Structure 1
């Protein structure tokens, strides 16, 4: 089963942000499921590789 949730397309070096609290994360090892914070998937603000 493929997960197409926002954030699963984030490659290495991508920057993600929580629209609820403003926390940010940088992807160092891509793959797997979407990162979440405050119960929602993080939004990609800068696409890495």
Structure 2
């Protein structure tokens, strides 16, 4: 069976997610949370 596992050690990365229709997107990076949220928002706008 498949079991989800963390993509990075706790505290090493931040994540932001969004959904467009039936597809969910997750961005993971070693950066400040606010920067990643802005990047995710920009990406979401570009995909619509």
Whether TM-score is above 0.5 comes out as no
TM-score by length of 1: 0.27
**Which structure's residues are more often helix, by fraction?**
2
TM-score by length of 2: 0.28
1 or 2 for the larger relative contact order (CA 8 Å, sep ≥6)? 1
